[in-house]
């Protein structure tokens, strides 16, 4: 029968749920099992997901080891993201879209949530790091109908003042509706008027457009967070959790937490505490302003 420590170690190394590991439990067991090789040997024999018999030894399974390596690295990764200059951080995320096949929605997220000066800083950082302009790489590397839209989006320098014309917003909301009705949602970005509206209008103006269009403003970021918690979430979806928490912690995390609770009927801090583990969990709670949660 497995001991309490063996069960705890199995849980800590299982990778189930896949968002971090319980480092403190591992450290405690390492201390308790010091000079107890029989305990470790018994654990290896019982944990066949991580070990398989290979000749006279219990060999680590490569697939599970790779999975665990990712989970052990989550705290390290989110810490590095947090200490980076925001422009470098965004430039690296943009480069993952242009060169590593990450989803183009990350570029939309960056371009539509960063102030104009900040986006300009991201473009400068991208040139410094990769010796190409962001616009050049987007135009050359993204080979579908989204390319023109994305180039316009990352090239924009939006007005950030307090004025937005309600009548114009209503008119452009109608234009978006007609474009979707005519071309369908999948081809909406082929419409020059839609591209102009989405790439040049101020954030405040776009909020009014989406309000009139009966879209829920801010829903996207809450969905990115929640996608990471879903069973079977893929690697890039889990990375989205770190991206949003790090980039929005000092900006609008309170609004995101409020919107998340309304959308999913649960406090974000409670879901983080339940779905993530160890130092990664604690860092997410700290970024959410919930260090005592």
Taking only the tens place, the pLDDT of each residue in 46-77 is: 887 788 877 788 888 888 888 888 999 999 99
- Average pLDDT, integer, range 244-253: 96
From the list 235, 212, 208, 240, the residue with the least C-alpha distance to 225 is: 240
Residue 218: its pLDDT value, please? 53
Cα–Cα distance for residue pair 83/131, rounded to 1 Å: 23
pLDDT higher for 105 or 2? 105
Percent of all residues in the chain with a pLDDT value above 70, rounded to a whole number: 95
CA angle, 194 as apex, 190 and 195 as ends, to 5°? Answer: 70
Cα–Cα distance for residue pair 1/58, rounded to 1 Å: 19
Residue 217: its pLDDT value, please? 45
Residue by residue, DSSP assigns 188-235 as: GGG-HHHHHHHHHS-HHHHHHHHHHTT--TTHHHHHHHHHHHSTT--H
Residue 216: its pLDDT value, please? 42
Model pLDDT for residues 125-146, shown as the tens digit of each residue: 999 999 999 999 999 999 887 8
Residue 167: its pLDDT value, please? 93
Task: Using the predicted structure, report yes or no on whether residue 293 has a pLDDT greater than 50.
Answer: no
């Amino acid at each position: 029968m497995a001991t309490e420590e063996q069960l705890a170690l199995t849980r800590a190394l299982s990778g189930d749920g896949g968002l971090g590991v319980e480092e403190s439990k591992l450290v405690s067991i390492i201390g308790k099992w010091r000079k107890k090789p029989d305990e470790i040997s018994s654990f290896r024999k019982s944990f066949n997901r991580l070990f398989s018999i290979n000749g006279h030894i219990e060999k680590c399974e490569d697939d599970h080891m790779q999975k665990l390596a990712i989970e052990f690295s989550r705290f390290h990764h989110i810490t590095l993201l947090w200490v980076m200059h925001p422009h470098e951080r965004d430039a690296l995320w943009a480069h993952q879209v242009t060169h590593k096949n990450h989803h183009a929605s990350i570029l939309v997220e960056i371009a539509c949530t960063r102030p104009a000066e900040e986006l300009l800083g991201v473009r400068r950082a991208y040139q410094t790091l990769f010796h190409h302009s962001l616009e050049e790489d987007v135009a050359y590397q993204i080979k579908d109908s989204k390319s023109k839209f994305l180039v316009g989006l990352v090239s924009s320098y939006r007005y950030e003042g307090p004025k937005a014309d309600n009548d114009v917003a209503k008119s452009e909301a109608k234009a978006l509706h007609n474009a979707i009705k005519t071309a369908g949602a999948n081809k909406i970005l082929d419409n020059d008027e839609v591209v102009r509206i989405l790439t040049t209008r101020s954030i405040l103006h776009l909020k009014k457009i989406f309000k009139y269009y009966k879209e829920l403003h801010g829903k996207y970021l809450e969905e990115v967070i929640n996608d990471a918690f879903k069973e079977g979430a893929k690697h890039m979806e889990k990375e989205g959790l770190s991206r949003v928490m790090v980039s929005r912690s000092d900006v609008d995390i309170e609004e995101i937490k409020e919107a998340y609770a309304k959308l999913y009927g649960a406090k974000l801090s409670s879901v983080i505490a339940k779905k993530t583990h160890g130092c990664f969990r604690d860092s997410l709670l700290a970024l959410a302003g919930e260090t005592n949660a």
